[in-house]
Amino acid sequence: MLVPKDRSVISEVVELPHFYQYLHRHIEWQITWVQQGSGTLIAGNNMHPFVAGDIFLIGPNLPHLFKSNPEYFGGNSELTIKACSLYFNPSGVLAALFDLPEMVAGRSFLQQHKHGFKIPSVDNKQIAAAMLAICNASGKEVLFGLMKFLDTLQAIKGAVQPLCSAIYSSDISETEGRKLSETLNFIMRNYNNQITLEDVANAAYMTPQAFCRYFKKHTGHTFISFLNEVRINDACKSLLYGNNSDCISGAAYKAGFNSITNFNRVFKSIIGKSPKLYIETYHNLSKNTAMAG
């Protein structure tokens, strides 16, 4: 439980070498503004790259992890992250407020977006300002700030990008939720090794057949499709920061692939282009952006 008894909305600012490394979930809604840092947000059964300035609304009970880029874990890294987050629970101490007739629209909006979404960049400034107002408020001003924040949220102009597919179910028991988080954490800790279905099924204390049904039911992914997406996501980061001739093979092996042919095939099926073209496209885009600036 994140919200203390003497506060209905909690605000938190963290400044650390990297983001918290473990997948976790909680009953509160969370809105996080990444002020400094870059990496990948894993939310439910989906992944979203993030950079400084991005803001995410994360639904209750949705397993999530802000995974910092590899360079944040270098031995001599001077890189740091900074993020501002708010947490609130419409079903807890705020239930009476959300039951008011005037809150119907806000309550409906949250129900409609139960997994949360990435805030469109065009709306970041307004959302960040509403968040800061709550962070700097005290007493009843916190509640006024929350209501204003919800109004600002409902008035966003850009197209909403959901954090994960509607098929993903976060409405699971505490025991099941803990097991799912532990399973996904096992994958995140071991994906760059030769992890097998039997390995992850054993970690979940299930037979491979039962684990396959369980994992598909709760994530909408097969184990292999999820593992491949995690590995390719890691490889993308390595490719963009590689600076030598064998960076493609290095990225493949570092991400857990033991065959370059298989890596190229999986990479193209997920990203839509070859690793080489992916690197070229990124560098051309960066060069054009720099010239335009």
The DSSP code for 24 is: B
CATH number of residue 137's parent domain: 2.60.120.810
Clarify whether residues 80 and 183 are in a common domain.
no
Looking at the DSSP bridge assignments, the partners of residue 42 are: 47, 65
CATH number of residue 202's parent domain: 1.10.10.60
Clarify whether residues 205 and 251 are in a common domain.
yes
Query: pLDDT in tens for each of the 293 residues of the chain?
Result: 454 556 789 999 999 988 887 778 899 999 999 999 988 898 887 888 899 999 999 999 888 989 888 778 776 568 899 999 999 999 998 999 999 999 999 999 999 999 999 999 999 999 999 999 999 998 899 999 999 999 999 999 888 888 988 777 666 677 777 788 788 888 888 898 999 999 999 999 999 999 999 888 887 889 999 999 989 988 988 887 765 546 899 999 999 999 999 999 999 999 999 999 998 887 777 655 545 55
Q: Please return the burial class of 250, using the count of CB atoms within 10 Å of its CB with bins 0-12, 13-18 and 19+.
A: middle
Clarify whether residues 140 and 270 are in a common domain.
no
> Does 127 reside within a domain?
yes
Residues spanned by the domain of 23? 9-162
Inter-helix orientation angle 260-271/247-254, to 10°: 90
> Does 3 reside within a domain?
no
Which alpha helices (DSSP H) does the chain contain, by range?
95-98, 104-112, 124-135, 141-154, 174-190, 197-203, 208-219, 223-241, 247-254, 260-271, 275-292
The DSSP code for 21 is: -
Clarify whether residues 119 and 196 are in a common domain.
no
> Does 52 reside within a domain?
yes
Clarify whether residues 44 and 121 are in a common domain.
yes
> Does 245 reside within a domain?
yes
Q: Which of 13, 35, 7 is nearest to 146 (CA)?
A: 7
> Does 31 reside within a domain?
yes
Count how many domains the chain has.
Answer: 2
271: tokens are 């990203």
Q: Model's pTM, two decimal places?
A: 0.76
> Does 2 reside within a domain?
no
Distance CA 103, CA 117 (A): 20
Clarify whether residues 134 and 44 are in a common domain.
yes
> Does 260 reside within a domain?
yes
Clarify whether residues 20 and 147 are in a common domain.
yes
Out of 118, 141, 162, a domain closes at: 162
Out of 141, 162, 183, a domain closes at: 162
> Does 168 reside within a domain?
no
